[in-house]
Chains A and B, each alone.
Chain A
Amino acid sequence: MSLDVATIILTSAFAGFIGSLIGLGGGTIVIPVLSILGVPLKQAIANSMITLIATSSGSASAYVRERLTNIKAAMYLEIFTVIGAIIGATITLLVPSKYLYFFFAAFLSSSFYGIRRKMLTSAFHDGTHQDRLSKWLELEGNYYDESLDREVSYKIVRAHLGGPAMTIAGLAAGMLGIGAGAFKVAIHELILKMPPKASSATSNFIIGMTALAGSTVFIASGLVNVVLAGSIAVGATIGSLAGSRLLPKISDKTIRVLFLVVLIYLILQMVYKGVTST
């Protein structure tokens, strides 16, 4: 493989495709591959971050209209992820790359949460009693669930904990140029008690904003190459649009096994890069 337009488009299309099927950003695949192709890690992070806006917005446009996305919850949580992402991106510009490799490998492991979650059929409880802040913020929602064939309505709780926790998700996303989708989904489900579909859709929506916040820092850093970022954006957008259309037709198990194999390979690569870089 060499660093050329075709390789980058194909890799990003694969990442966007798998990403949209699993519900994770494409950055987890694109960044290690760029790094293997010889792009310095910080540059890979900066260029991949901008393209997350495309993959997130593409699928979010459908989820928003189906009312799966909780816009109010997203707006409230974005206050925290935006702060986190701006700080995170700034840290990345300042720290030595060696540490970033290890941090990246460790964070890739959090993607396993997203995969494990998809294997469980989660029973959701509605009608939770809300605390005062969550109620004041009007954090509730309802949507039509096709697989259950009924309206699902829910109330979000513990907004005072969910917000600060999202700062950490934003921080990691900004530092590593990824969506940190698995981490965001975990906060939505475990702390805020959102139902799985609303949780994934809202996480996806927030990723676009976190990516923009991180990009505001990287765009000024002189690391963004328009040909590289443009190639990733084109590939990832096409891949994620194709993935969201094919989703119902592909066996979940095949995708997960494929993704796990890719993920383990990339984690090992990043650890190796971290050990050998000076």
Chain B
Amino acid sequence: MRRPTLEEVIGYILIIGVTTSLIIESAGLALYVVGKGAIEIDLSDPEAYVRSRDFFAYIIDVVSSVLGNPNYVDVMALGLVLLMLTPYLRVVASVVFFAFSRNYKYVVITLIVLAMLTVSLIAH
């Protein structure tokens, strides 16, 4: 089997990430509108805010809430998490791809980007 090009790998990651999160966000909005019986967005509702210092711990929280007894906040948070993971996975895939192609210059460059994103996701 032919090895896929970097363009193909990244293209698929992007389109799958965006469409999956679009579907989940739409489901979350539907739950919100049906549950509240209104379409107003209440900015003063503390439940609707993302509060997390560590993004990766937040992912685990969100996934376990959605698997348990999900409400609209959890479903929409899952959609946003997937959206944020899309470009992140795109960098991870690039590191792996450049490593397979033995292009070490670009392994280092992509690792720098990955490291900055990871630190910023964990350490805020």
A residues apposed to B, CB below 8 Å: 2-6, 8, 39, 43, 50-51, 53-54, 57-58, 60-62, 64-65, 67, 69, 71-72, 75-76, 78-79, 82-83, 86, 136-138, 208-209, 211-213, 215-217, 219-231, 233-234, 237-238
Contacts and interface: CB of A to CB of B under 8 A. Distances in A.
B96 interface: no
B84 A53 contact: yes
Nearest to A3: B41
Contacts of A3: 40-41, 43
Contacts of B121: 216
Nearest to A208: B87
Contact of B25 (A61, A225, A233): A233
B50 interface: yes
Contacts of A5: 29, 32-33, 39-41
Contact of B18 (A50, A58, A211, A231): A58
Given A71-B10, A75-B106, A53 B50 contact: no
A193 B97 CA distance: 27
B2 interface: no
Nearest to A237: B22
B67 interface: no
B94 to A, nearest CB: 7
A6 B39 CA distance: 7
B117 interface: yes
A3 B110 CA distance: 40
B88 interface: yes
A222 B17 CA distance: 24
Interface in B62-84: 72-73, 76-77, 79-80, 83-84
Given A61-B18, A212-B87, A224-B50, 19 more contacts: A5-B41, A50-B84, A65-B11, A79-B109, A208-B86, A213-B120, A216-B121, A219-B55, A220-B124, A226-B49, A226-B73, A226-B77, A226-B80, A227-B41, A227-B42, A230-B28, A231-B41, A233-B21, A237-B22
B1 interface: no
A212 B58 CA distance: 16
A94 to B, nearest CB: 14
Interface string B38-64: 111111000011111101001000000
Given A220-B124, A225-B49, A64 B14 contact: yes
B6 A71 contact: yes
A62 B98 CA distance: 21
The 7 closest A-B pairs by CB, nearest first: A220-B124, A61-B14, A216-B120, A61-B15, A226-B76, A65-B11, A230-B76
25 contacts: A4-B38, A5-B39, A51-B83, A54-B18, A54-B22, A57-B86, A61-B10, A65-B8, A72-B106, A75-B106, A75-B109, A75-B113, A79-B116, A138-B105, A208-B86, A216-B117, A219-B58, A220-B53, A220-B124, A222-B50, A224-B49, A225-B43, A227-B29, A227-B48, A230-B76
